[in-house]
Every structure is written in structure tokens, then in C-alpha cells.
Structure 1
């Protein structure tokens, strides 16, 4: 599978690199999608903002696009061949929907931080789900979709959710108040369309961090008034800031970029030419793109410092008296931050973060909580 995927990426990359006349080629979306299944009743949500979002290349820059195609697939392939059985143990067994519960299918890229957030939520609550891994370049697994980003979550093969935060807020609301119809819950997150500074139409959900609960349930889930606002604040922070620190840190130097692609080539069992092309061209492209992201988000010369600062800011917000921001159990903010950081596992950036910040103990507590489905009991009782 790994070799086949990379061979496809190589062909696409070579096509773009050999194209003498390369017109404006649209955008390359690394980490998302937007979709509607044939026959599905509804489609909700958006994929949010990617690690690099809608990178467009003018005439004469087709070569970089070819490199980016190799890169986008390479990052996904890196984690795919490194696949953690523990993280996907719920998805790899054949299951039927639990009694009274929804049947869930998640379309994802393994390394998409927004997809990782959704998996962390589902695993923590012990919700069975099937994973459909989407090829990050061809995306044939969602060819039925007009929405071309991920994550996409299908509920009972009828209701489609596309934005990671809408997915999580909708499911959490449903788990707390199962008397509500799922479609009614999702209707509480209407699309808000607008035109951005570039003149492109964008879709957002201004209330996607809210749980749609009654006053009594809100008081029960958030016994102190500040708890709900705190959770929402840090969920938004994870989407709007933390996620943008990942790619510049993973590909901070040429050595780190090459290190990432070393694993791909070794595990994919390439021929000598394919391996050379995937490793050096892909790594070079990602290094260049990471520099562009660094400039776009006004990061420091050493982007590690921004990562360390952000992670320590998160740990400080939890404080010394709480195991998690949610108290004795992770809340939605804990799961969101954990999901974003988890996509760096196995890379130097992750090791450096663990060694140079205070996040280690919190991270391992959340990891254990998700692997052991510690939210399952709270889910059954409708707890937070």
C-alpha cells in the first residue's frame, strides 16, 4: 500500500515537474475535504484551515507544485506505515452500531490534526467507528463528494458532518442528551457564508464550539460558569494557533525534512530512483513550504520557540491543581490540544517538545485516557 501510494504521487509529481506550460493550477489542500454521499440526507460543516491552506502557484511554478504533491502524500504515508494499532483498535474490528448509538464512518488523513482531534474524541468516549483513509493527492475515496476536505464523519450513512469542531460538538451534545434527534442537534450549527479578503467564498460556523444543551444540562456539565468559556477558548486556540505551528516545526531544517522521508523510503521499499526522488524532492519541497508558513504566521526565526511557548502556555492554563483542564477527566479542550500535538509523534519536533516543555505528564495522561476509553462511563451517564 505504501509503495503503491508513493508511486502514484511520483507520477503526479513528475507530470507537474515536466509540464513546460503550467497555467494557474488551482490550490493544493494538504489536510482537508468537503463531501456529500450519494443519497445522504444532509451535509454539514467545513474542514477548517489546513497546515497549509490553498497554496496556489502561478505560471512557471509548476515544479514546486509537483514537489508539494509528493510532500502531501509523503507526510500522510509516513504516519500510515507507522500506524499505531492502539490508536485505531476501535476502527479495525468489524462492528455494528451500539444499542441506541449511531454508526460512524470517519474519512480522514492520518496526519491531519483536525482528523486526529476527532479520533481522540471518539476513542476517549469509546465510540466504535470505521476509518476510511483518504489518499491526500488523488482523494478517490471521496470522489462522490463536492466537499473535498477531511475530516468527514458519516452518521448512520445518512447525516454528513465535515468540520472537526462541529463533529465533536454535535456528538458531545448527543451523548449528553440522547432524547434529542441528531439531525435537530446538527441544525443548530448553520452555515455562515462570507467572502474573505481574497474575494473567495468561505463557510464558517460561529457557534461550533458550543454544546447545544438545556439550561439544566449546562449547569450539570459545567457546574462553574467559567468552565464552559474556558473550554471554548482553548478549543478555538487549538484550531486558530496551535495547528499552524506543526508543519514549520516538523520541517524546520533540511535535516529534519530528510529524516522524515528516510522512513518513507525505507518502509515503502522503493526502487533506487523512486526512493531518491521521493526523499530529496519531497523533503526539499516541504522545507520550502514550511518557510512560507513561518513567514505567513509571523513565527520566530527558531520556530521551536513558538511551539515551546504555546505548549507551556497551555500547561500553565491547566495549572498545578488539575490533572486536565477538565479536572479529573479530559474535556473537549484537552482532547483537541492532544489531537493536534499527536500528529508529530515519531518526529524530532515531538521529542524536542517533550524534552523542553512541561507538557509530558499531561500528554501521557490524556493518551492513556483515550486508549482506555475512560470517557465511556461518563458517556453512558451523560457526564462531562
Structure 2
């Protein structure tokens, strides 16, 4: 488009310059004169008498035809220069840029309000990795009926590699982003699946090494230049899974009103049928209000569960300290993304507002919002 305009301007310029006299009845002059008259009347509200545009054109006709031609030619040349310059810049940018994630095709099966799914989205968004979302119906779960693993999140990579567990997903992808020579299948073998029975007699699936990145010694030193950074990151990633996550339900279902508001949000954001939505909102809210009391007892929380949430969040901020923007320093690390992902699911609820008002997490949280929204980890 820009190149075509530039060529047109140049042609008009050459045609004017090649004419020995710009005649009043000439085609080029006629078109410009009509346009000038129309602009003049529109701009100044007069239909009679010569306007500023007409007087200017008359001056050019009287002896400035070559000046007009030069103006068109110069305009065309400048436009052409800008077009070529833009094209070269685009070519260089494409030549030196890499496709995020080495062009991986990612499909995330999730519940939007699930904290573990939110962790994965925070990681993908921060690193600017394109992905498709499949929202799973939490009642029927037919969207993942093809999988023997019946939890979310599930991330499918290139249609044939299935990653389960939020921490395994994040560790695997981060490893691949740093060392693209390793395929996702190779990396996944470093996180073996372990099945066991928990204290309530339920079979659970765990994954070894899920907080570790599978990197060489040189790559590890480059990613964690200061002593203790790697250990600190792993510690707080596990803390987010083993402690922080368990504070969410008791706080968002703390009272009957909060439980109803939470399920209203879950139904609105999730994938429910009409009957399922009604059932989930009212029956689910009542059930989770009761279950949250059991969770409070199971995790030894205080009667006022807000206090446990405030303490946990303030512990996190204290661990970052006053000299760092993030636990990762100037940029978020995997622990920052995990904690942000977990806390984000409370947005819009009373628990979130209370947390922002009664803890010191606000400034860190806002920095994390900007970092993920702007895909600051893309490079």
C-alpha cells in the first residue's frame, strides 16, 4: 500500500516536470484545482471568491510548476525511502527472532478458576507462548475422556506429548526453552510418575523431580548466577503447592455469602450447562462451605482463616525482601509465577480484596500482572 502510493506520487512529479508549461486546462492541474477548491470550501465555509488553496495553486501555475513537480517527486521519494526502510527492518527482525517455544503447538485443558491451571497460564503468558485453551466441564469432564489422567491441568504438546501436573508442565517447558536440543519426550522421561495410596486410602499420582529443571551445569549457572537462587526457587514453588493452595478454599468459602459469591464466579467463568450451573451455584456453595470447615481442621488453620492467608502472603513478601522486585531479582522466576498464579484465582472475591488491604503484597502483585500481561519473559 505504502509502496503503491510512493510510486503514484513519483509518477505525478515526473509528469509535471516533463511538461514545459503547466497549462490551466491540463489534466493534472485540473484535478488538483478541483480538489483544492473542494478542500477550500470545506475548510473555510465559503463558496465564492478565490480561497487560500486557489491562490496558492495560481501562484504555482504562474511560474512554480517545476516546484510543484519537485514537491510530488520529493514526496514520492521520501515515501519510497520509508517503505524500503520499514521492509528492511521487518526482514531483519524476522531473521533474528525465534518462534517462542520453538514453534510448539500447545493445548491447555483446564478449569479457569483452578489455581494449578492458573499457575500454568501465568507461565505461558509470561513467556509469550501461544496456546489454545479447552475449558473442561467439571461435572462430566468429557473434554478429557480420552485421557487416563483425569485431573487438570493437562497440556498437550504438538498433539502427541501429554504433560500432567502443573509443576511438571512448567519445569518441562522451562527446560525446553533453555535447551531446545532436548525434545519434550526426552525431558518428560526425567519426571517419572509414582503412584501411591495416601492416608485416606485414596490412590494418588506424584512425579519425581518436578521442581527441578533438567539443565547442564553451565546452563544452570547461567540461569541461577547467585548461590542459593535455585534452592530458593524450588523451596517456594513447593510451598505454593503444599501450603498456599490449601489456603484458597477455606478463605473463598469462609461464610455462606462468600461461598455463594465464589460459586457464582465459578459458574460464570466455567463451562456448565444451565441445570449444572444452577445446581453447582447453590448446592455446590453449600457443600463447599461445609467442606471448607473440614479443610480448616485438616490443615490446622486458625478459626479466622484470613489470618493464615495474611501470614502466608507476608511471609512470601518478606522472603523477596526490599531490595528485589521479584524473588528472581529484576525478573520473575518460577516461584514468582507459581505464587502469582495461585493468588490470582481469588481476584474479584472478598478474600482477594481483604488480602490486598491487609498485607504488603500489592506492589509485587501489580508488577507480576504487568510482567505476564506484557509477556516480559518472551526473550
Tell me: CA distance 1:201–1:220, structure 2 relative to 1, closer, same or farther (3 Å). Answer: same
Aligned to 2:81: none
Aligned to 1:11: none
Write the distance in 2 (CA, Å) between the matches of 1:292 and 1:313: 25
The reply on whether 1:243 has 2:265 as its aligned counterpart is no
Q: Contact 2:100 / 2:128 at 8 angstroms: preserved in 1?
A: no
Question: Secondary structure at the residue paired with 1:100?
Answer: helix
The reply on whether 1:232 has 2:234 as its aligned counterpart is yes
CA-to-aligned-CA distance 1:93-122 (integer Å, 9 cap, x gap): xxxx86832110000000111100000000
Question: Secondary structure at the residue paired with 1:105?
Answer: strand
Tell me: CA distance 1:157–1:205, structure 2 relative to 1, closer, same or farther (3 Å). Answer: same
Tell me: CA distance 1:99–1:224, structure 2 relative to 1, closer, same or farther (3 Å). Answer: closer
Tell me: CA distance 1:99–1:164, structure 2 relative to 1, closer, same or farther (3 Å). Answer: closer
Higher helix content, 1 or 2: 2
Residue number among 292, 314, 317 corresponding to 1:315 in the alignment: 317
Residue number among 90, 109, 112 corresponding to 1:110 in the alignment: 112
Aligned to 1:291: 293
Q: Offset of 1:146 from its aligned partner?
A: 1.3
Write the distance in 2 (CA, Å) between the matches of 1:243 and 1:265: 20
Q: Offset of 1:223 from its aligned partner?
A: 0.8
CA-to-aligned-CA distance 1:202-244 (integer Å, 9 cap, x gap): 3212311000000000111111120000000000000000000
Question: Secondary structure at the residue paired with 2:251?
Answer: helix
CA-to-aligned-CA distance 1:241-260 (integer Å, 9 cap, x gap): 00000011001011212333
The reply on whether 1:194 has 2:196 as its aligned counterpart is yes
Tell me: CA distance 1:355–1:167, structure 2 relative to 1, closer, same or farther (3 Å). Answer: same
CA-to-aligned-CA distance 1:144-186 (integer Å, 9 cap, x gap): 1111100000000010001110100000000001112221111
Aligned to 2:15: none
Write the distance in 1 (CA, Å) between the matches of 2:163 and 2:231: 24
Superposed CA RMSD:
2.4
TM-score normalised to structure 1 length: 0.68
Aligned to 1:348: 350
The reply on whether 1:138 has 2:136 as its aligned counterpart is no
Aligned to 1:54: none
Write the distance in 2 (CA, Å) between the matches of 1:264 and 1:251: 12
Number of matched pairs: 279
What are the residue-to-residue correspondences of 1:176-215 with 2, within 5 Å?
Answer: 176-215=178-217
What are the residue-to-residue correspondences of 1:108-187 with 2, within 5 Å?
Answer: 108-187=110-189
Tell me: CA distance 1:318–1:152, structure 2 relative to 1, closer, same or farther (3 Å). Answer: same
Write the distance in 2 (CA, Å) between the matches of 1:317 and 1:155: 34
Question: Secondary structure at the residue paired with 2:228?
Answer: helix
Write the distance in 2 (CA, Å) between the matches of 1:241 and 1:181: 32
- 5+ long unaligned stretches in structure 2: 1-98
Question: Secondary structure at the residue paired with 1:307?
Answer: helix
Tell me: CA distance 1:314–1:264, structure 2 relative to 1, closer, same or farther (3 Å). Answer: closer
Write the distance in 2 (CA, Å) between the matches of 1:258 and 1:273: 16
Aligned to 2:44: none
Q: Contact 2:101 / 2:176 at 8 angstroms: preserved in 1?
A: no
Aligned to 1:304: 306
Question: Secondary structure at the residue paired with 1:376?
Answer: coil
- 5+ long unaligned stretches in structure 1: 1-96, 378-384
What are the residue-to-residue correspondences of 1:64-75 with 2, within 5 Å?
Answer: none
Write the distance in 1 (CA, Å) between the matches of 2:347 and 2:169: 24
Question: Secondary structure at the residue paired with 2:340?
Answer: helix
Aligned to 2:11: none
CA-to-aligned-CA distance 1:241-290 (integer Å, 9 cap, x gap): 0000001100101121233355678999x9x9999866543322221111
Write the distance in 1 (CA, Å) between the matches of 2:323 and 2:121: 27
Write the distance in 1 (CA, Å) between the matches of 2:106 and 2:277: 37
Write the distance in 1 (CA, Å) between the matches of 2:275 and 2:179: 57
